[in-house]
Structure 1
Amino acid sequence: MLAEKPPKTNRRPAHANCLNTFAIWTRTAEPASLNLSVSDAISNHQQGRLLFSGSDLGMPIQVRQWQQLRWLHFDQHSIEACIDLDSPASLTIPYTEAMVLAAALKPDAQQMLNLGCGVGSFERYFNHQLPQLSITSVEASALIIDLAKRWFLLPENLRLYNCAAEEFLKQERQRYDLIFCDIHIADGHPNCLDTLQFYRHLKQALQPSGLLVINVLPRDNDQLLRWLLLIRDPFTHLMLLPIDNKQNCLIFCFDQSPPDDLEIIERASQWDSRYGSNLLHHCDSLVRLPVPP
């Protein structure tokens, strides 16, 4: 889910304050590039033709289309997903491409777990780019799954479970090379993100050499700091990736030492050359948290 950054105040963004709290280095990112037509669509949710209107968990939900773009949104402040019908496998939302950096850092991954399938953006992308990657998908909302199949070209024959992420992890015994966790609904988050048990279950589901990436939408510095302290319990190595001009912040979690900066840049460059993405741009914003003594 993509969340616009709240109106400017005298307070610094939550992730900026938290970086200072951890006394870590940071680098300035270049402005994000976003196709103008996509930007227009997601900045005005009421544009386009209404395809579906309903509610999920008490929240209004709509599917709309403008030219080749089709999107799903919960309210006037957030976009859940967007598909370019002329290029269904492309990732149109900035943070989703940034999350793919995790795959570039694990080029040998064979098993992936996607918590928060949504309308299947990552499933379409990886089915096209890495058809050999076996994906297990989890989505808590039956309505979202139905809309994904009806309006968003959700790939067939998916290993897709309709249940909450925390319930899936409690019962899962398989270990994965790569885990994506994007389980926000509108601009909120499920209670499991505030529990240590959830991150310990994520650790148990990850191969020792695997990589977990989590999309969070911190409302303030304190909330981000609480999440980082919880995640730090099972995971020794953490890296942050704030998304330009958005509330989103990605947390990359490793149990083993992550690649050094030069190797990250090299792998991102290789991915960009092969798949036409722009991961190098996001590398400039990566921030390493210090390893605890």
Structure 2
Amino acid sequence: MPSNRPPFIDLAWFKMAQPQATRINCSVQHSCEVFEYDSLRWICTADGAVQSMLFTEDHSYPVLHYIKALLCSLVFVDKPGKMLNLGLGSGAIERYLESHHPEIAVTSIEPEVEMITLSKECFYLDSSYPVRNQSAESFLHDNQQQFDLIICDIHCPPEQPNPIETMTFLQNLTNALLPQGVVAINFLAESESHIIDMLVRLRQIFEQVTLIDVLRQQNIVFYCSNNPFPEPSELNLKAALPVYGNIQAETIISQLIWLPE
């Protein structure tokens, strides 16, 4: 593979890579396992889901396409100063921002202490990086701050309901946004009707909603705000700036699905 970019990661790649991958030993006992193959390292959960991925030749590079899509929320807000990340994973969001946007103050929330340990031990998140060991629901319930950007990427086991589908959680999200703020939500869609149901909930809470169907994956990323979005032409121009090159913003923003008012 080219040394500066990993390949596109999809199900076919995993079927090829998983049997050849090396298991990485970590100090924590966890239901997740860490694997490495051909300059890529990832977390595989007990239910077979890939929760996060690292490019070992550039730790700041966001490998998974839905992570790039979540980071494209940066394009919607001029000079964001504060970001809330609900769901640390392996720290892909944090590593990217520390490298490319160190001016943004990030509050990181992760309910599983083992994931925090994994991110620092196996995925090169700085050992001194502060992460609040708390659920997203608990944090938002008690939160008094407001943010320019909120990224919401909560992994739940298949049998467990995801809080992002509740009106209380969504209302707490909008309460945590500054007036010009934008929230990006990663949504694992089970069916087209599941997407529509989620969209209806979002439009009851937020004045503005747009989305992208992440290429060749089930992930839908919703972008929501209570402030008018910039015009598509303005977003496309901004997305083409070199600072957004590593998140492929120009491609992703051009694929947004704009909904009628």
TM-score (norm 2): 0.89
SS of equivalent residue, structure 2 residue 35: strand
Aligned pairs for 1:227-238 within 5 A: 227-238=198-209
CA separation in 1, counterparts of 2:117 and 2:161?
A: 21
Partner of 1:258: 229
Does the 8 Å CA contact 1:215/1:248 hold for their aligned counterparts? yes
CA separation in 1, counterparts of 2:73 and 2:168?
A: 23
Q: Does the alignment pair 1:276 with 2:249?
A: no
Q: Deviations over 1:75-100 (max 9, x none)?
A: 57421111111100001111111222
Q: Does the alignment pair 1:98 with 2:69?
A: yes
Shift of 1:234: 1.8
Does the 8 Å CA contact 2:143/2:176 hold for their aligned counterparts? yes
CA separation in 2, counterparts of 1:120 and 1:41?
A: 22
Return 204-213 or 100-109, whichever deviates more: 100-109
CA separation in 1, counterparts of 2:9 and 2:186?
A: 21
Does the 8 Å CA contact 1:240/1:250 hold for their aligned counterparts? yes
Partner of 1:127: 98
TM-score (norm 1): 0.80
Q: Deviations over 1:185-238 (max 9, x none)?
A: 366764312210000000011101100000001101222222112211220110
SS of equivalent residue, structure 1 residue 118: coil
Q: Does the alignment pair 1:286 with 2:256?
A: yes
Task: Tell me which of 29, 40, 54 is aligned to 1:83.
Answer: 54
Does the 8 Å CA contact 2:208/2:227 hold for their aligned counterparts? yes
Q: Does the alignment pair 1:50 with 2:12?
A: no
CA separation in 2, counterparts of 1:221 and 1:189?
A: 20
CA separation in 1, counterparts of 2:33 and 2:154?
A: 19
Shift of 1:159: 3.3
Aligned pairs for 1:150-165 within 5 A: 150-165=121-136
Shift of 1:52: 3.7
Partner of 1:20: none
Partner of 2:115: 144
Identity %: 26
Does the 8 Å CA contact 1:136/1:158 hold for their aligned counterparts? no
Taking only aligned residues, the RMSD between alpha carbons, in angstroms, comes to: 2.2
CA separation in 1, counterparts of 2:147 and 2:130?
A: 14
CA separation in 1, counterparts of 2:153 and 2:254?
A: 22
| Aligned-partner residue type, residue 284 of structure 1 | S
Distance 1:236 1:189, change over 3 A: farther
Does the 8 Å CA contact 1:218/1:247 hold for their aligned counterparts? yes
Q: Does the alignment pair 1:245 with 2:210?
A: no
CA separation in 1, counterparts of 2:90 and 2:134?
A: 15
Does the 8 Å CA contact 1:113/1:135 hold for their aligned counterparts? yes
CA separation in 2, counterparts of 1:134 and 1:88?
A: 19
| Aligned-partner residue type, residue 47 of structure 1 | Q
CA separation in 2, counterparts of 1:42 and 1:74?
A: 14
CA separation in 2, counterparts of 1:179 and 1:201?
A: 12
Shift of 1:55: 6.8
Higher RCO (CA 8 Å, separation ≥ 6 residues): 1
SS of equivalent residue, structure 1 residue 159: coil
CA separation in 2, counterparts of 1:127 and 1:188?
A: 35
Distance 1:84 1:35, change over 3 A: closer
Distance 1:82 1:186, change over 3 A: farther
Does the 8 Å CA contact 2:212/2:256 hold for their aligned counterparts? yes
| Aligned-partner residue type, residue 198 of structure 2 | W
SS of equivalent residue, structure 2 residue 79: coil
Q: Deviations over 1:37-61 (max 9, x none)?
A: 85676444343211148875xxx42
Partner of 1:178: 149
CA separation in 1, counterparts of 2:245 and 2:157?
A: 30
Q: How many residues align?
A: 253
